[in-house]
Structure 1
Amino acid sequence: MINKKVVLNNSEGLHARAAALFVREANKFASDINLEAHGDRVNGKSIIGIMSLGAFSGEEIIIEAEGADEEEAVERLSNIVEKEFINL
């Protein structure tokens, strides 16, 4: 299992479009994916779970993956949060 802390640097945090993009990418991996914010942990492949975190711009989240492709999953998903959310 590996994890990485990332900061939500887009203006709206984990809103519907950002959560949908994250889930779409997370579901491409065989590994179990989890997100953590404010001490709450949710399934990273669940849009409802991600949106329930209520994570906003400037807040730190932890992306965690466990499985055969965990390193690739964390790298790709953290890249999405750090770079691609800004355009949403």
Structure 2
Amino acid sequence: MADSFSAKVTIVNQLGLHARAATKLAQLCHTFQSKVELIQDDGKTADAGSVLALLMLASSKGKTLTIRTEGSDAATALDAVTQLINAGFDEL
């Protein structure tokens, strides 16, 4: 059975999860073997490796998301994605 981890984060950058941020997140997720999903409080989910799926979430500043990772490097993936989001996608 694959390892599974999750954490809650809040979108902190001014523009939210816009195209550049979504691209940066998807590219990061592609560096891991594990599956990475984002889940909003309203129940919407997105494969974090898909820019289009991330944009469909329409996550604005202040929105809380749950990051869920599953796979052989799930803990590392969760840590990296959490850091990127908490750093405002390096836009702050």
TM range, normalised to the smaller chain? over 0.9
RMSD: 1.2
Residue 60 (1) aligns with residue 64 (2): yes
Residue 20 (1) aligns with residue 26 (2): no
Residue 10 (1) aligns with residue 7 (2): no
- Deviation >6 Å, runs of 4+: none
Structure 1: gaps spanning 5 or more residues? none
Give the alignment's TM-score, normalised by structure 1: 0.95
Question: What SS does the aligned partner of 1:30 have?
Answer: coil
Larger radius of gyration: 2
Count how many residue pairs are aligned between Structure 1 and Structure 2. Answer: 88
CA distance in 2, matches of 1:18, 1:39: 21
Amino acid at match of 2:87: K
Structure 2: gaps spanning 5 or more residues? none
Give the alignment's TM-score, normalised by structure 2: 0.91
Residue 46 (1) aligns with residue 53 (2): no
Note the alpha carbon deviations across 1:31-75, whole angstroms, 9 max, x for none. 011111121111111000000001100110111100000000000
CA distance in 2, matches of 1:86, 1:23: 14
Q: Equivalent pairs: percent with the same residue?
A: 27
Question: What SS does the aligned partner of 2:87 have?
Answer: helix
